[in-house]
Amino acid sequence: MRIESQVHEPKVDEWFNYDVFLSFRVGTRHSFTSYLYGALRQSRIHAFMDDSGLERGEEVSASLMQAIERSQIALVIFSPKYAASRWCLDELVKIMECQRSLVQVAIPIFYEVDPSVIGRQTGTYGEAMERHEERLGRENNGVMQWRKALIAAANISGFSSSEYQ
């Protein structure tokens, strides 16, 4: 006699609250990101776009981290100033963690920035990371996680805005 497993595997709609999580720097909110969000909604794709507008010094909230965890897909909109935001970098670390452990799909969108700038951390990305190191210390665990997440994300096949201009 065979005993069936009593473990209940969650269905997609039981586990995920969102189809897509949008990670972006505020500078793209009223341009590219809002158009993308509108197109997703129009296509009946349930997308999460944070409208809380975190204030300087605030930590990324637990509810925001949960929204990342509970999304099937994370679209990371890398813009020239993305790495200047500690909140964006914290989101990116969480997204890359979820990609590894929860089989979340992470898709980078390179908006007005080349993936090599992100991966090598040159240009605005290099400058931003240097500022973070000056403030937090070169050996700071958070800074090292941010650097690793940037490298990993830059190596994912994504979309570049230069291809569509």
12 pLDDT above the threshold of 80: no
In a domain, 116, yes or no: yes
pLDDT given at position 31? 84
Determine the residue type at 98. Answer: C
Domain count, the chain: 1
Q: Write out pLDDT tens, residues 129-144.
A: 999 999 999 889 999 9
In a domain, 67, yes or no: yes
Q: What is the CATH number of the domain that holds 73?
A: 3.40.50.10140
Average of per-residue pLDDT across 28-46? 90
pLDDT given at position 15? 74
3-class state of residue 16 by DSSP: coil
Output the pTM of the full model: 0.84
Is there a catalytic annotation at residue 91? yes
The residue from 91, 97, 133, 139 that is catalytic is 91
For residue 110, what are the domain limits?
12-50+60-158
Cα-flanking dihedrals φ and ψ of residue 124, to 5°?
Answer: -65, -30
Q: How confident is the model at residue 63 (pLDDT cuts 50, 70, 90)?
A: confident
